[in-house]
Amino acid sequence: LTVEDLLCELRIAGYSSAKEIDYAILESNGKLSFFVSEQAPNICGIAHPVIIDGNLVEYALEDSGKSEKWVLDTLKKKKTELSAVFLMTVDDEDKIEIIKRKDCAL
């Protein structure tokens, strides 16, 4: 299961951001169960995954109207290296969510 597959399953289940979920379980029947975070952010529109596992996602940059420079400038302002990011999303109102590798239970 890739991160993109997981994000797809989140959207199918009605969630627009991974930040809405505390954790997910891949059940023995192959389905995913999601457990909602009590501190779920208010997401506006779809959360475009502009970085996945330290790599820029070209199609998401295009879909969100963002550039590689915008992402790198945003990371610099947050004093975060690209390689340290597990997932970075930006929603339709430019709300940014960053999940660093150390924040993930892999």
| The two structure tokens encoding residue 48 | 């475009």
0.85 surpassed by pTM? no
- For the chain, the average pLDDT equals 88
pLDDT tens digit sequence for 75-105:
999 999 999 999 999 988 898 999 898 765 5
- Give kind and range of the element (H or E) at residue 63: helix 58-64
Mean pLDDT score, 36-57: 84
Q: pLDDT value at position 104? A: 59
Question: Would you mind telling me the total number of residues written for the chain in this entry?
Answer: 106
User: What pLDDT does residue 106 have?
Assistant: 47
pLDDT at 23: 86
